[in-house]
Amino acid sequence: MANYPVRGRSSPAASGFPFGTLMALSLSVGVLAALGWQAWRFIAPLLAPPAAPQFPRAVRVDPLPSPTSLPSSPSVRVSGTESLPAAGTIDPEAFPPGSRGRVIEPIGLAIRSQPSADGAYQGGIVAGETVTVLEYSADGRWQRVRRELNGQEGWVRAGNLGPVEGGAAVASATTAATPAVESTPESTPLPTRPPAATSIAPGAQGRVIEPIGLALRATPDREGAYIGGLPMNEVVTVLEYSADGRWQRIRRQNGQEGWVRAGNLAQE
């Protein structure tokens, strides 16, 4: 007789499978969900766009006063007791031709052959040295001066002279008409050198006493071709003088001959 399953009743194997499988699946889904949530909390900040930068609020700054609003100081007329004018202040009335002045530019002045920056460089004047103003250029920006140290003449930038120590900057009419060597001792802070014509005769030897040395030229004038230089303390032989006595033709110990400014050699 055949056995047929009774309707409405299941076998033992069929009744135990669905519950265990369901529990395992539920547990797995819960674990995966928890892990996914933790991973998302870590990754989400990395995927978020950066926050907009925050800048401090702009503060309005009041502008500085314009130069026109600053108090203006009147031009200073220099005397022996007043403070020195600022270098670069051009005042031709304070130093007319014939007056004496002292260099106030801290780095000194360059002497040039012409009243322009393109003029040939002929030497330098140190701060504190005294010179005599001979004339002004047409635009008033250059002064032709004579050094009291050695009689050298040339053009320098105007506005760089102050009063000499112990005296006024502007010479009187009587002083301007007399040679610069007749100035009073108290107004001459730097010593002057005697003319070379009265100290070294042709054929005698002399030693260079100019601190910056001497330029040796082919002809007895400042436009003569430059053929060399003589350092300080070099000993040379005087051969002759120019017609005006301002230049000396000398021979160096190596046989080279040329012209140098007179008044820069001491008797050896």
Which residues, given as ranges, of the chain have pLDDT below 70?
Answer: 1-17, 58-91, 165-199
Q: For residue 84, what pLDDT is reported? A: 57
Take residue 12 and report the two structure tokens written for it: 């033992």
How many whole angstroms separate alpha carbon 215 and alpha carbon 165? Answer: 30
**Cα–Cα nearest to 144, from 222, 230, 75, 259:** 222
Cα-based distances in Å from 74 to 71, 77, 85, 231? 10, 9, 12, 46
Closest CA relative to residue 160, chosen from 199, 133, 196: 133
d(CA 19, CA 30): 17
Q: Which of 176, 190, 199, 38 is nearest to 128 (CA)?
A: 190
pLDDT value of position 85:
58
- Domain 100-187: CATH superfamily, name plus number: SH3 Domains (2.30.30.40)
On the question of a common fold for 100-187 and 196-267, the answer reads yes
- What pLDDT score does 176 carry? 37
| Domain 196-267 coded CATH 2.30.30.40 | yes
Name the token pair of 131.
């010179």
The whole-angstrom separation of Cα 120 and Cα 194 is: 27
The model carries a pTM of: 0.36
Residue spans per domain, the chain: 100-187, 196-267
pLDDT at position 263 = 84
Only one residue has tokens 């009265």, namely: 198
The pLDDT of residue 182 is 39
Q: Which residue has tokens 């007895």?
A: 220
